[in-house]
Every structure is written in C-alpha cells, then in structure tokens.
Structure 1
Amino acid sequence: MLLLFTGDNAVRDTFQLAEEVAHFGLWQVDLATGAMTCSSNMLRLVGLSSRAPRADGEAMRFSTLEQVTHPDDMPVIAEIQHIIADGLPFDRNFRVIHPNGRVRHLSIHGEVVVDASGRKTRAIGVLVDVTLHAETMRASQVDSERVRAIMTAIDGRLWTARSDGFRTDLLLRSANSRSVPGTWLGFNWLTRVHPDDVARARTAWAEAPHHVRSFTLDLRVLGEDDSYHWRRHYCSPIVNDDGSVREWVGLSLLINQEQSAVQAEPGILTAAQIRAARGILNWSVKDLADRTGISTGALRRIEAHEGFNRGAAPALLLIKDALSAGGVDFFVLPSGEAGVFPTRKENRLKIVAENARPKKVSI
C-alpha cells in the first residue's frame, strides 16, 4: 500500500487525505446490534460531524441519517434500510441539509457481508458528495430544455452525420414531433426528401468531404401531415486537431414562410383556380399528386377550401409550379377576382375552336 505520510499514523493520514480530496466517506453497520460506524469525513459530508454524543452512550444507527435527510428524500433512507435487511446491494442518491442550511447531494453505495456460514453480519459502503455533478446535470438539463423549447417554436431538428450524409444521431427535435426517430437516421432521411430534390442532396453530401466547410441546403421534406415542406439544412463539420473531420452536425429549420414570402405570396391560388387548371390540363387529382408529392387527401382538402388559403401557402407553391409547368398560368384582378388561362397557344386555339363550334340541335 502506498503511504503518503510517515510515522505511526501514516495509514490513517493517507486515507483521510484521500477521503477529503475525493469527497467520500466510509460506513458500516453491525447487523446484530444495528450500530453504525462512520469515518470522520462521512460524518462531515452528512452534516453530523458536530453531533454531540448522547448521554446514554447510544450508538449511531443508519436511521440517524433521517435527522439530516431532506424531507423529500426520506423514503430513500427507509428503502435502503429494507434493502439491507434483505441482504441486497444498492446505489441510491439523496440530499442532506447541513446545520448551516446548505443542501448537499450525496450518492451512497452499500452491500451486505456474510460470514463463513452465510449469515449476514455487516452492511458496508461508501458515501460520495455528488453536489457538483448534480449542479452540472441540472444546468445541462436547463440548457437542453431551453434548446428544446426553441426547436419546438421553430420546428427544428438537430442531428449529427458522417461525411457521406449518413445521420448517426437525432440530438434534438420539436417536442410536438410524433415521428419515430429511426425514420430520420442513417440514409432513411433521404426517403422523406422530395424526389426532385434527392439528387441535389446526394450531390451536396458527395462534395462535402472534399471541401470540409459549412454549407446550407434547401430541400422539400415530407412532414407528418403527409405534405412536403421547405426545410433549410445548416451543415457544419467538427474538425480534429489533425484536420480530419470527426463528424458533421446539422440543424434543419422550417422555411415555408420564407419561401412563401419570396415566391408564393403573389401567386396564392384559390381552390377554383386549381380545379379549373386541372380541367384545362385534363389532370386528375392523382396526376397532380404525382407531380407535387402532395397526398391526394391533402389535395382534396385544399380544393375544398373556398377563397385564398394562405395557411396552405407552401403546398400551393408546389401546386402552382406543377400546373404552370403543365401549361397554365394564373392571375388575380385588382378587384380580387382570380382566374386561370392556358399558356400554350394550341390550347387556347383548341378552347376557342370548341367554344365557336356550332351546337348540334336534335329535332
């Protein structure tokens, strides 16, 4: 055994130093008498170092800890006594209140020792002051709650990934999210990206290892409402001292409103415009769903809404782009009346010809 001191008390002084520096103390309970023996640092940690011995000479017992235990943690001390009686090991945390009013967080470990015949003789253990750890964990919890509150407000997701875009962990997401985390891990996240944006996403991550710098990526991602929403992905590498990339960390934010403000606001469509445009193009609801990535159910709900539906602006942007690419255009008169017309000359002539064709009259 390594002794840090010399003299007759070398062992005691070395052990006492270790206890004080590491903030721990030792204890044991004689199961035959119930008497509890503690090291001096153990008594100091629980706030009993100044406890005056009783006049009747009664020994300290495990239940003596109830005198200093925080009221909310009294059940823990009672539980430990039951565990000792059953001869089982235990690890528990509880708080004590010192005579000066200070609260300390303690962690206690114990187990029962038996003799050669298997009879339980003693309970022994270690008590450690974990106040600093508890404070650190509490501060970390507060920070995590703050970040989670922000993520919920902005519908954000925080994740880590390999250099090839393989997502390794979903660190934080909106508290309102109901999706299974596994759907966003690995390469599964690409299955939720709009088909027209997948190639762009793959290209960005294929180039990432060569540039080793932060980049942003705007993608349409399938949401929990079965509709695609614009999300901006901020991706940044965490670099080791030797310049190699340890991992990537990313933040995904919903930017539907930004997209709407930049592109969609002047062209918000009415349900009547969408139905008329489909009629001109001879598209079914399924045809439009295939071209936009929006479910047929969502499209029917949009078409059932009368007037301008600004709440569905992100979806309307996708619908407008698909219908415009198909060959129609939209307008809104200063009076507020909305309309649609075919952009292709042959479609206009066809419509005019159909309207000009004399109607057959049956006699």
Structure 2
Amino acid sequence: MRVSGLRTTPSESANRSVRLRAMNKRAICTLSPRLDVAFRRSVWPSRAMPARRHASSYQLLNLLEATGQVGVWSLNLRTGEMSGSLGLAHITGLPSDESLLGLLDRLLHPDDREALGELFDMLYSGRAIDRTVRLVRPDHTVRWVSVKAQIVLDDAHRPMRAEGIAFDVTGPHEARLLAEQSTARYRGLVHAIAAVVWTTAPDGKARPSPTWQVLTGQTGPEMQGDGWLAAIHPEDRARIETAWRTAMEHGTPYEADHRVLCADGTVHWYSNHTIPLHDADGSVREWIGIMQKMPPSGRFSSPEITGTLVRGARAMLRWSVVDLARAAGISVSSIRRLEEEVGTVQPRTRSAMRRALEG
C-alpha cells in the first residue's frame, strides 16, 4: 500500500487497508463547508470512538479554525469535487456555501497560476504537496497561503482522494519580506557611502565583516576576536585598543580616528564610530560600527554629521525619521532637510541628532 508516496510491505498493506476501510465507511476526513455536521458525522464514527473523545476532537478543530488562519479541504480525484471547511472559507474570503470547484483557478494570483497544473499533476500521480501560493480574495486583498496535502489510496492502490490543510501565513511571510527589504536598503546605503561596517559580540569580540576583509585583506578567522587590531597601524594600535576597552567597560559609544593597513599595501586614515545596541533589560546585545575613509586634507576627530551619515545610522538602528525626531526632540522636517541637503540645519539641531544616534 502507498500513502503520500510511502510504500509498505504486503502484510503491512493488508493490515493498514483494513484500518482504512473500517475508518472510511463514513468517508473520514472528507469535510464539507458545514464543518460541524461533517466532522461530527464522518471523522469519529460513534462505534469507534467514545462520545467524550468525539466532542473533544471536534472542539479542538473548531478552536484551531476559530483563529481564522487554518482551514481543511478534500478533493475527490475521481470526480474533481472539492469541499472545504468554514476555516477555508474564511481564508479565501468566499461564502461558506459557494462551490469550491475551480477555486484555485479563480483565486490564485496570476504570478502563481503556472504552479496550478504542477500541483494537480502531483496530486493525481499520488504525491503529497507542500507549497506556498498567493490568493486574491473577492475583496481584492492578497493572502499568502501554505497548502499541504496527502493522498489516500483505494484498495487497488490508486489515488482516490487528496486530504489537505491550508494555513494563512500572510503575517510571517510579509514580515520576512520586509526584513529582506530592510537588509537590501542597509546594504545599498553601506555601498553608497563606501563605508566599512562591522559588528562585535557583547564582550567586544569582532565578528567576520566582508567589508573589513576586503579593505584589509584579513580573512574572517584572522579578524575575529581581537585579530582586527593587527590591521591597525602599529603607532595607533595601543591607543585604539585602550579606547575600545574603555568604551566596552562603560557601554558608551566609541569614536576614534586611526590608520588602517590596507590590502593593497597602502595606509589610510579612517574615522570609526561604534555604538552599543541594547536589549530591553539594558544589557548590551551587540556593538555595531561604521568606518569611513577620511579626506586627504587631514584628520578630523569629530566629523560634521551629514545627511548620508544620518541615513546610514538610521538604517543600522532600523529607525524611521519619526523615531529619530522623537529621540532627538527635533522636527521631522529638520531631519528631512539634512538628509535631502535642502535648506539650512542649525548646528544645535545637528548635535541633537548626533546625541540621539550615539546614545
């Protein structure tokens, strides 16, 4: 016997077939939009299951579907008839009494319709499916739905029915997309300002940084821990190590100008700005730093804050303009003028932004 692509021995098949036939006398798991009636009459036949277990299972499934994010369905692979639960109706946005025939073809997002034929081919060939697709509901909202199904075979081991479940995964899926977009913007900003970005563990031990490795020629293992100090000019190394240790001990922002031994054999001055990121309890979760090459005109220990630096810092902190305005006690328009380099921004306003970003 084969269920969902799994094979069993003849003896196992015989035993399992008996169980399936015994349970399938009342079409187990073939649910209809009237979930309460279908579940009570088909899933747990009264002779096979105590009434208490029957009611408990029914209530559990109803509780799951009450979240509005779970629905079950059944597809007869011989007649093409499809039925679903009230939970599925909620996910799709269809009335519970509407026929589900052609459901996927009508609701599937245009960009996902090519997968429809493949999904049905898998079901009719006796293979389980596990796919995430987009549905466009009648109210024109788009939902991401994870569809899973297994195959039930008849006594001749031919696909008879597909039993499936659908999960509304719109929230987690869109959160992941937003995180990917945020990461892409962050990388774009780092590239745009030609910066070196690096992070450390709470104890200050450096983690591998692709931009640092390109600049210095160090490998990931070579720069980890305190290995990055080897790429600092020998005359600056002790000063930088002391400043870094002090910042870690007090949990305060770290700023320093120093020379870096670059991979091409040259030496250049860089301005390093590193801040601690805190957990809710106030403990340091990690340190994140950004380094920019200093202009040929000479060193500067505290460069004027620019729109590019503000955008980069906001991206690292995942702050919106409103978040920064609230933290700095300034107007949103002042931040926009600085970032867009339109108009004049008072020095005290720049200082307030800097304190908020570094604090």
Q: Which of the numbers 182, 196, 210 marks the counterpart of 2:235?
A: 196
Question: Offset of 1:42 from its aligned partner?
Answer: 0.8
Counterpart of 2:174 in 1: which secondary structure? helix
C-alpha distance 52-219 of structure 1, shift in aligned 2 (>3 A): same
Structure 1 equivalent of residue 88 of structure 2: 42
Is 1:260 the counterpart of 2:302? The answer is: no
Structure 2 equivalent of residue 142 of structure 1: 181
Question: Offset of 1:73 from its aligned partner?
Answer: 0.7
Instruction: Name stretches of at least 5 consecutive residues in structure 2 with no aligned partner.
Output: 1-50, 301-359
Task: Say if 1:163 and 1:205, in contact at 8 Å, map to a contact too.
Answer: no
Higher relative contact order (CA 8 A, sep 6+): 2
Structure 1 equivalent of residue 110 of structure 2: 71
Q: Which of the numbers 78, 81, 84 marks the counterpart of 2:123?
A: 84
Question: Offset of 1:71 from its aligned partner?
Answer: 0.8
Task: Say if 1:148 and 1:173, in contact at 8 Å, map to a contact too.
Answer: no
What is the alpha-carbon distance in structure 2 between the residues aligned to residue 195 and residue 130 of structure 1?
Answer: 54
Structure 2 equivalent of residue 25 of structure 1: 71
Structure 1 equivalent of residue 259 of structure 2: 220
Structure 1 equivalent of residue 250 of structure 2: 211
Counterpart residue type for residue 48 of structure 1 = L
What does residue range 1-363 of structure 1 map to in structure 2 within 5 Å? 12=58, 15-49=61-95, 52-53=98-99, 60=100, 64-113=103-152, 120-168=159-207, 170=209, 182=220, 186-187=224-225, 188-223=227-262, 225-239=264-278, 244-245=283-284, 247-257=285-295, 260-262=297-299
TM-score using structure 2 length? 0.56
Question: Offset of 1:223 from its aligned partner?
Answer: 4.4
What is the alpha-carbon distance in structure 1 between the residues aligned to residue 219 and residue 103 of structure 2?
Answer: 48
Superposed CA deviations along residues 301-347 of structure 1, whole A, max 9, x for unmatched, are xxxxxxxxxxxxxxxxxxxxxxxxxxxxxxxxxxxxxxxxxxxxxxx
Question: Offset of 1:104 from its aligned partner?
Answer: 1.7
Please identify, of 178-187 and 204-213, the stretch whose mean Cα deviation from structure 2 is larger: 178-187
TM-score using structure 1 length? 0.55
Counterpart residue type for residue 253 of structure 1 = M
Structure 2 equivalent of residue 322 of structure 1: none
What is the alpha-carbon distance in structure 1 between the residues aligned to residue 128 and residue 219 of structure 2?
Answer: 36
C-alpha distance 178-50 of structure 1, shift in aligned 2 (>3 A): farther
What is the alpha-carbon distance in structure 2 between the residues aligned to residue 184 and residue 154 of structure 1?
Answer: 26
Counterpart residue type for residue 113 of structure 2 = M
What is the alpha-carbon distance in structure 1 between the residues aligned to residue 282 and residue 98 of structure 2?
Answer: 62
What is the alpha-carbon distance in structure 1 between the residues aligned to residue 205 and residue 139 of structure 2?
Answer: 54
C-alpha distance 220-40 of structure 1, shift in aligned 2 (>3 A): same
Question: Offset of 1:166 from its aligned partner?
Answer: 2.0
Counterpart residue type for residue 21 of structure 1 = T
Superposed CA deviations along residues 71-125 of structure 1, whole A, max 9, x for unmatched, are 1111222232233344444432211112222222212223334578865444333
Counterpart of 1:237 in 2: which secondary structure? strand
Counterpart of 2:237 in 1: which secondary structure? helix
Structure 2 equivalent of residue 311 of structure 1: none
What is the alpha-carbon distance in structure 1 between the residues aligned to residue 161 and residue 216 of structure 2?
Answer: 51
Counterpart residue type for residue 23 of structure 1 = Q
Q: Which has the larger radius of gyration?
A: 1
What is the alpha-carbon distance in structure 2 between the residues aligned to residue 149 and residue 216 of structure 1?
Answer: 24
C-alpha distance 240-48 of structure 1, shift in aligned 2 (>3 A): closer
Task: Say if 2:134 and 2:145, in contact at 8 Å, map to a contact too.
Answer: yes
Counterpart of 1:65 in 2: which secondary structure? helix
C-alpha distance 229-183 of structure 1, shift in aligned 2 (>3 A): farther
Counterpart of 2:274 in 1: which secondary structure? strand
Question: Offset of 1:199 from its aligned partner?
Answer: 3.2
What is the alpha-carbon distance in structure 2 between the residues aligned to residue 106 and residue 11 of structure 1?
Answer: 24
C-alpha distance 216-133 of structure 1, shift in aligned 2 (>3 A): same
What is the alpha-carbon distance in structure 2 between the residues aligned to residue 232 and residue 248 of structure 1?
Answer: 20
Question: Offset of 1:193 from its aligned partner?
Answer: 2.9
What is the alpha-carbon distance in structure 1 between the residues aligned to residue 56 and residue 131 of structure 2?
Answer: 32
What is the alpha-carbon distance in structure 1 between the residues aligned to residue 233 and residue 205 of structure 2?
Answer: 18
C-alpha distance 219-121 of structure 1, shift in aligned 2 (>3 A): farther
Structure 1 equivalent of residue 337 of structure 2: none
RMSD of the TM alignment (CA)? Answer: 3.9
Counterpart residue type for residue 255 of structure 1 = K
What is the number of residues matched between the two proteins?
Answer: 247
Counterpart residue type for residue 182 of structure 1 = G
Question: Offset of 1:155 from its aligned partner?
Answer: 1.7
What is the alpha-carbon distance in structure 1 between the residues aligned to residue 118 and residue 219 of structure 2?
Answer: 37
